[in-house]
Homo-oligomer: A and B are copies of this chain.
């Protein structure tokens, strides 16, 4: 047996193993009903039919449910590719056109997320499975005036305050409509982006569009917290779907609290394009880098000891009598206990758009965070970070968006129907 036979064998065993799981049609319930299933792709997906063709590996075969209490793409595990795209309604387009657009988008998102190709397809994602595709839709503040729905605009969409360190480009900020696309395959994600753009037709025009990525599934031995392009373990402090107050913090409750009923099960997304000044950052010695965050770079453990999941000891002093986790450490300043319990679910993509006009890398974090109320999530934390975060020297907020992301559609419903047809 040659070495290459050997590898081929192990490949086949790998496919076989996962194939069996796929055939069993596993469905894993994610928090709040955005289910994930590892299944064979639909008949419209070439390359892996049910009739004896080999099954997809879990990368391709995993699909996320479109219908549910919440939209997909919020508690869904990070995907390796992402596109963010904002649209403005076309001049003359109003509520009727917007409703028709959301209906088209919902049909497309549902089909693509289950691995089916829409009619007159570009074919770009043929062969591939759904690859954990999610397509998530949100409304910006300006949407409500343009559609005559100003009276139904939620307080959650009140403009974010200006922060002193902001360097925002309005052309890459905000927008009437926002779509977040994530998938574990680049062609599947691109394919969905083009389908969403095509559906926009004459009703809406792209305002801005950004591309992001995360680590590939399988690049690490076991699922691990993400790293960002500064090399930090990023996501540790996130609330967990199993936390008792997770839903209350991240999702708008049904009925009451002053939130409009059409936002029940929804969430607010704050989107910030945060450039990292990597040339400066990479010159900082490791120990100083670690003090900027308050955690070890190697494994994300607090500088006060333990492992990644150990709580920060914010009062611990070092042998020099100074705080081990400095006063201006990012982890200290952003921690819920320092912000009256303010919490958000950070679910970012990294971005890298080559070299900027100034010769430094145009790279950083497409920071996306989710919360039931921006005033109890992003706003108070960013207020504090804006003033005292050691990280500030190494980052620049270049664009910003705030979007109301309605709850997931029930069977037969389209996203936003409860706003647009009430």
Give me the interface of A with B, judged by CB distance under 8 Å: 3-4, 6-7, 10-11, 13-15, 17-18, 20-21, 24, 26-29, 38, 46-48, 53-60, 80-81, 120-124, 126-129, 131, 184-188, 190, 194, 198, 206, 208-211, 213-222, 224, 227, 229-232, 278, 282, 286, 297-299, 350, 352-355, 359, 361, 363
Smallest beta-carbon distance A192→chain B, Å: 13
Q: Are B224 and A57 in contact (CB under 8 A)?
A: no
Q: Could you list 25 examples of A-B contacts with CB < 8 Å?
A: A3-B27, A4-B29, A6-B24, A7-B28, A7-B38, A10-B38, A14-B17, A47-B224, A48-B221, A53-B221, A57-B218, A58-B218, A60-B219, A80-B186, A122-B230, A123-B232, A123-B298, A126-B227, A127-B220, A131-B219, A185-B219, A187-B229, A194-B361, A198-B282, A211-B352
Answer whether A15 and B354 are a contact pair too, CB < 8 Å, given A59-B216, A227-B124: no
Q: Are A353 and B350 in contact (CB under 8 A)?
A: no
Answer whether A231 and B124 are a contact pair too, CB < 8 Å, given A10-B26, A218-B218, A224-B47: yes
Residue from the list B29, B38, B227 in contact with A123, Cβ < 8 A: B227
Complex A-B, nearest 10 residue pairs according to Cβ-Cβ distance, in ascending order: A123-B231, A59-B218, A48-B221, A10-B21, A57-B218, A185-B219, A128-B219, A60-B219, A186-B213, A185-B216
Beyond the given A7-B21, A121-B231, A187-B229, could you list 15 further A-B residue pairs with CB under 8 A, ordered by the A residue number?
Answer: A6-B21, A14-B17, A14-B58, A54-B221, A54-B222, A60-B220, A123-B297, A124-B231, A126-B231, A127-B220, A128-B220, A187-B227, A190-B363, A216-B216, A218-B218
